Amino acid sequence: MARYFLEVAYVGTAFHGSQLQGQLPTVQLALNNALTTLLRTPTPSFGASRTDEGVHALCNFYHFDTPLPLHDAFLYKLNAILPHSLAVKKLYKAGNDEANVRFDARSRRYRYRIYARKEPFLYHRAMYYPYPIDIAILHQTADIIKEYDHFESFSKRNTQSRTFICTIKQSYWQQVGTELHYVVEANRFLRGMVRGLVGTQLKLAKAGGDGPAALRQILDARDCTKADFSVPGYGLYLEDISYPADTYTEIIDKKTGNYNQ
């Protein structure tokens, strides 16, 4: 039995989230069906990071096990079966059979995109937010977030998490062309956490006043009713997941095209 990692990307608005929900179209269900079809035996996958309905991924990981040798065009064949809104970018052989895409991940990075002027090509790819924002307050609140490691105020209720401790590695706002992005990286995230961080910061920056002090009060309250989770999922992207260097080795597909050659 060998373990393989799949690096995937998907358009979140095409799925009811990433995790299995019966027969509702989810990323995990699509992968399971495609793997089962290609390997001709029931083959479940296991995900690294759960994304909610509408949330996109430029990079998420799944692993699966099989005793069967993989076709040298496995990646090409798997993508041919998957829906257009989901693609496997890379295939890896795990360094050992106990490697786990969820528990071995060192960090995850998310990006939330907003834009201020109506743009049809950004519809459901970023959040339209045509309101005045105090950018200075956003930079201050993003810095404050890095000072904390307890985020109960930014976890939705009914979570399965046993702890609200998260180690924030990056938290900042940046201008990207005509868009404003919030980037946050941590060892782990709570349910709804990134959207809560974005919505709350925008609310404080839009209202003006002492936003940084208000954010500290919300963080210290450890009460999720104080945060704002109202921003839509389609503005959010799971951008990267990092692993130790010896976790896996890439398998180069023999048929997938490469225009960089």
Domains and CATH numbers, the chain: 2-103 (3.30.70.580), 107-239 (3.30.70.660)
What is the rounded distance in angstroms from the CA atom of residue 228 to the CA atom of residue 225?
Answer: 8
State the average pLDDT over residues 183-197. 96
Tokens of 253: 């597909």
Residues designated as active site:
52
Q: Model pTM?
A: 0.94
DSSP 85-119: TEEEEEEEEESSTT--TTTT--EEEEEEEEESS--
What is the rounded distance in angstroms from the CA atom of residue 194 to the CA atom of residue 163?
Answer: 16
Q: What digits encode the pLDDT tens for the residues 73-113? A: 999 999 999 999 999 999 999 999 899 999 999 999 999 99
The confidence band for 19, taking pLDDT boundaries of 50, 70 and 90, is: very high
- Nearest CA to 190 out of 166, 220, 224 is that of 166
Contact 30, 38 (CB under 8 A): no
Q: Which residues contact 235 (CB under 8 A, 6 or more apart)?
A: 112, 113, 114, 126, 127, 198
Tell me the three state secondary structure of residue 79. Answer: helix
Using DSSP bridges, classify how beta strands 236-242 and 56-66 pair: parallel, antiparallel or unpaired: parallel
The confidence band for 187, taking pLDDT boundaries of 50, 70 and 90, is: very high
What end-to-end distance do the CA atoms of the chain give, in Å?
Answer: 34
- Residue 242 pLDDT > 80: yes
DSSP 150: B
State the average pLDDT over residues 10-19. 96
Q: What is the pLDDT at residue 157?
A: 76
Q: What digits encode the pLDDT tens for the residues 143-180? A: 999 999 999 999 987 766 689 999 999 999 999 999 99
C-alpha distances out from residue 124 to 28, 140, 209, 252, Å: 21, 28, 31, 33
What is the rounded distance in angstroms from the CA atom of residue 152 to the CA atom of residue 143?
Answer: 18
DSSP 13-36: GGSS-SS--TTS--HHHHHHHHHH
Q: Which residues contact 40 (CB under 8 A, 6 or more apart)?
A: none
Q: What digits encode the pLDDT tens for the residues 194-224? A: 999 999 999 999 866 678 999 999 999 999 9
